[in-house]
């Protein structure tokens, strides 16, 4: 598997994990809808990706 394929696969795994955590949180709080804001091409000041480790794990 090429480097970029592995990278894309990792990105997809992270996106799936985050979406599962959002849904879990919404269910815990009996939310009836999820609303997202499109923020465009938001980047940190350094231009690097910033993954937060403060998201609690899904149980």
pLDDT tens-digit map of 9-54: 888 889 899 999 999 999 999 999 999 888 777 666 665 555 555 5
| Backbone torsion region of residue 47, taken as left when φ is above 0, otherwise alpha when ψ lies between -120 and 50, otherwise beta | left
37 SS3 class: coil
**28 sits in which H/E element:** helix 3-28
Q: Which two tokens stand for residue 51?
A: 């993954």
pTM of full prediction above 0.85: no
């Amino acid at each position: 598997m090429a480097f970029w394929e592995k990278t894309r696969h990792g990105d997809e795994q992270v996106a799936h994990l985050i979406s599962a955590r959002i849904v879990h949180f919404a269910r815990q709080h009996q939310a009836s809808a999820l609303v997202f804001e499109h923020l465009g091409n938001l980047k940190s000041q350094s231009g690097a990706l910033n993954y937060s480790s403060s998201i609690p794990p899904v149980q």
